[in-house]
Chain A
Amino acid sequence: MSNTQYSGVKVKRFSKGFVIAHAVNAISFFALYITALPMYTEWFDWLYPVLGGPEGARLLHRIFAIAFITPTFIWLIMDPKGFLRWGKELVTWKKRDIQFFTEFVKELFGFKFKHVKQTFFNAGEKINSIIQILTAILIIGSGFPMWFPDLFPKAVVQWAYVAHNVGFGLAIAVVVGHIYLSVIHKNSRPGYTGVITGEVPAEWAKDHYTEWYEEEVKKGNFPDLDKDKNKKKGA
């Protein structure tokens, strides 16, 4: 699909650190999901031969489990500023974040909606992040007693299975929505290019993350699209 609706002006949204961390997170999440499926439900037992039998599936699951732990550190080391901004935004909630959701439901189902001014991460992304952090803690935290049962009391190991399941159930439900928005839903799709190349169309960024965009314009990092439009009109 062409980029006809946009002027072609791109702005930098994500650092290299974020792009790598996001990719490692996404790939390891899916690898973990696939290698765990046959253990979760017997519907997927046909995956065992593909994964090298139960032993192969288990080994791969553990390798990707290690990979799954690394994104936080990759982002923190490569882009500490971006990481801290993320942390700060996750705990900052204002009226506009609540307003976002009423408009977002309309947007999701293809009805007319208006953009509610958002900062670097919109309220939906913040909720997604918070759920992913909580589920990652549940999944990683419970993974250790499951992997090394001899080091933990039996009750801890038994409850780890529950936590692993709850964490996984929540995470996959949210991830399905996250992926739908990024690769299928029209209005959010440029975000997908953003997490791969780090860049997004300027107009799209301005509409979706207005407050952040305006801040960057003030700093002189991004072009002032309104000014450019007025210039063109005047010309």
Chain B
Amino acid sequence: MTLTDDQRMLADTVAPFMADEGAISKQLRHWRDIGCKDGFGHGLWKQLAELGLTGIIVPEAQGGAGLGQVEANLVLEEIGRNLTPSPFLTTAVAAVRALEGSAQADRWFPGIVAGDTVAALAIDEGPHHAPAAVALEAKRSGNGFSLSGAKQFVVHGASADVILVAARTAGSAGETDGITLFAVPKDAAGMTVENVALTDASKAARLTFDGCAVDADAVVGEVDGGWAPLSRALNAGRAGAAAELVGVAAGSAEMTFDYLKQRKQFGRLIGEFQALQHRAAHLYGEIEIARAAALKAAQLLDAGDTKAELMVAVAKAKAGKVARLSVQEGVQMHGGIGMTDEHDIGFYMKRQAVLDELFGSPRFHSAEVARLSGY
């Protein structure tokens, strides 16, 4: 489990780019302070396209780089480290996996590859991740469907050009059969979008569908067979979120370890206190472990291994737990300054909270580990 030369080169290109162009002062703090309605900059999204990153997992035949989850995760770790707001995870990773191989891919991939298009996923209907619990109803109507129901936590929902909506065409909430995935364009009649700002200054919409009419060709994959594209999107999204969380954990920890080497109290650098040293060393190890889990999950996904889903759950849960530890220790070890808005460390705590919930919390994924292991 060491990186190939190509993967290392990619990481070496992305890291300085994100540290510079994606820096907190240039992106996150800037967009928040001016009250940007998207919560991210379209300029950066375009720059990512120029670097070939928005199409990183889009097949080469469709204009992308044709790379895999491991490569996408390298980008996401840097995004996490710098808290760079962008639709990379939802659009370039999760939505691309949902759309791949369908007719809708031909429609949306060119825009994604060019950095012109943003996609969002509308899955959850309650405050906790529960993709099988989809209840939003899609009834056949004319030669299309009519959607009724509500979604929440639709990240970048108000900025998206297309929203992938999981709806129920058969069965009942809790069943994975009978779900259908629709690619709904942003201006679809009967869909109301409420743009909500989240704790970390990103945006996630609440959507209401009131007899929203969509064409039959908006179906991604098969009618009643939406679980397949949805699972692909979720696996990729979860694995990617795990990598971004590792980046958040690492970025927060690096900032904290630096502070331990600068701040003096009691006539000594606080990093000399063993009470802090041991906690810092423990945190370091946990981050390495979370990174290995995320890498393993990505490799298994790319290999199409049957164990991939289990490892994805492990990675998302572990990265969430570790990132939480990292941001909590980060704010605590910064003392009073860590509680100020002026200091960046608090941003890590806020981002961790949002990413932790996105695509399922550590509790959700621990339960998945139990379920997939048969106990």
Asked whether A and B interact, the reply is no
